[in-house]
Structure 1
Amino acid sequence: MTRPVSTVMSGKALSQTLGGNLGIEVPDHPLIRKLSIYTKLSLEEQRAIADATTKTISLQANDEIASRGEKVSGVNLLLEGFACRFKFLEDGRRQILAYLLPGDLCDLHVFLINRMDHSIAALVPSKVAIIAPARILRFTDEFPNLTRALWWSTLLDEAITREWVVNTGQRTAYERMAHLFCELFHRFRAIGQTRGLSCRFPLTQTALGDTLGLSSVHVNRTLQDLRRNGLVSLRNGILRIDNLEALEREALFNCDYLHLDNHRPTFSS
């Protein structure tokens, strides 16, 4: 993986694209959009988020957002693109641990540790905002509702990790690939990045193997089985689900762990 060639967006430019201090386009901010699934954020809370994400970095595919062993200086928020969390074994084998979509925080509490114990990289051209630790602490000190929403987001990350453990340990290759397709489709749909039953899916067969614990040959064979059964097609980085209900049934997929049903819990002070 290569390190990113960074560019820092000015506060004015970010205000035009993300709302910044204007309070007009703020709801289009990826993190605000994600947290709004769980709770209603006040305009003041929305502005606090936008103000915290004025420093941005542009990355190319395979650029590392954070590298194992490096000192942590802040929380990374994916604004645009698609990224993954991963670890390498000493012999070069890679395990992908999670996928990050726009609005996802790359480890909310990572600044509490000294150094990264894993790496995070962009899989396509992406944009990341760096949130200073002091800004996160300000959220916890001044905005209890926002803090609870961030906790909710962290719990979602943990729920996905638990499901991935079950996926690798108990589901067959066919089931686990179908399950990953279902999960990413639902996550993309929650942030408005699907068209009908299609979504972007910029993963190589090698990346699928590193995610699901399968060889390249097994990945190819499983993809062919899913296509042959009329469930999905994958072409030019686009995943098309031909029968979502059947795909979910084959995957033993239950969407509850994603908490994406627009339920907004009531947080009392």
Structure 2
Amino acid sequence: MIDRHLAKLRARDTISAEEEAVIRQSFGEVRVVPAGTTCIRAGERLTFSTLLLDGFMCRYKDLPGGERQITEVHTAGDFLDLHSFSLKQLDHNIMALTASRVVLMPHTALTAITEHHPHLARVYWFLTALDAAIHREWVLSLGRRTAIERIAHLVCELRVRLGLVDQADDSGFDLPLTQTDLSDCTGLTPVHVNRTLRDLRERGLMEFRSKRVTIHDMAGLIALAEFDDNYLYLRREAR
């Protein structure tokens, strides 16, 4: 059930059989989250953290007028709110972009991990730091990258993150998001997203249609986005 989560951990550190058993037994209730459902709201008191098993979900903040900014897209194997363990509540919302399945880890189980398994505590601390690194890269995109660079960079990032769990390769990946979702990720209007996707297609770099990204020129896409995956901390080393 949590194999994709373990694959993401093992891409960056060694997880022993004993530690795997501890992780597996720490999870509890599985929930199905329909597409478009905000399952955790800002300010809600939390006694568990949530792992995404299947689907795509996101963190977002919105304004009183309804304008939404997605601050991170989550893929299978990601914790959605590991930071709620210490914060006890979030300052943002978490929503399912597609029909999704999640599993809960009670904070009491996380407390036991931090007290009795220091290496796993460091691994999960690393995951919260990784989320922060992704957020910083998204801020850079919103503040300094052009429209075409923003979308190209997002595609490059998702190709790497999905590739860790065998859901993507250099030919492309399934991405069941709408152009409105992409606009909320990149700070562009849906019309601007549509024009930018057309530009990427006409340059022979990629296409986005029928809920799939088809990559025609991975090297060209990386060059356009000036994509450097260092912020994803893919080196496997002891934490």
Distance 1:142 1:244, change over 3 A: same
Q: Secondary structure at the match of 1:105?
A: coil
**Whole-angstrom distance in 1 between the partners of 2:39 and 2:102:** 8
Alignment of 1:38-77 (within 5 A): 38-77=12-51
Alignment of 1:135-146 (within 5 A): 135-146=109-120
State the superposition RMSD in angstroms. Answer: 1.4
Alignment of 1:1-269 (within 5 A): 18=1, 29-260=3-234, 263-267=235-239
Number of the residue aligned with 1:6: none
**1:160-218 deviations in Å (ceiling 9; x for gaps):** 11111111111111111111111111110111112552111111111111111111211
**Whole-angstrom distance in 2 between the partners of 1:59 and 1:255:** 30
**1:49-80 deviations in Å (ceiling 9; x for gaps):** 11111311011111222112322121011111
Letter in 1 for 2:30: T
**Whole-angstrom distance in 2 between the partners of 1:109 and 1:92:** 25
Letter in 1 for 2:212: I
Letter in 1 for 2:233: H
Letter in 2 for 1:253: F
Q: Structure 2: give runs of 5+ residues left out of the alignment.
A: none
Indicate conservation of the 8 Å contact 2:14/2:237, yes or no: no
Distance 1:111 1:44, change over 3 A: same
**Whole-angstrom distance in 2 between the partners of 1:168 and 1:195:** 26
Q: Secondary structure at the match of 1:186?
A: helix
My pick for the range that moved more, 145-154 or 246-255, is 145-154
Indicate conservation of the 8 Å contact 1:38/1:152, yes or no: no
Indicate conservation of the 8 Å contact 1:67/1:120, yes or no: yes
Moved beyond 6 Å, runs of 4+: none
Indicate conservation of the 8 Å contact 1:29/1:50, yes or no: no
**Whole-angstrom distance in 1 between the partners of 2:4 and 2:207:** 28
Letter in 1 for 2:179: Q
Q: Secondary structure at the match of 1:87?
A: strand
Letter in 2 for 1:239: V
The higher radius of gyration belongs to 1
**Whole-angstrom distance in 2 between the partners of 1:75 and 1:91:** 29
Q: Which has the higher contact order (CA 8 A, sep 6+)?
A: 2
Q: Secondary structure at the match of 1:203?
A: coil
Q: Structure 1: give runs of 5+ residues left out of the alignment.
A: 1-17, 19-27
Aligned residues: 239
1:111 shift after superposition: 3.3
Indicate conservation of the 8 Å contact 1:85/1:120, yes or no: yes
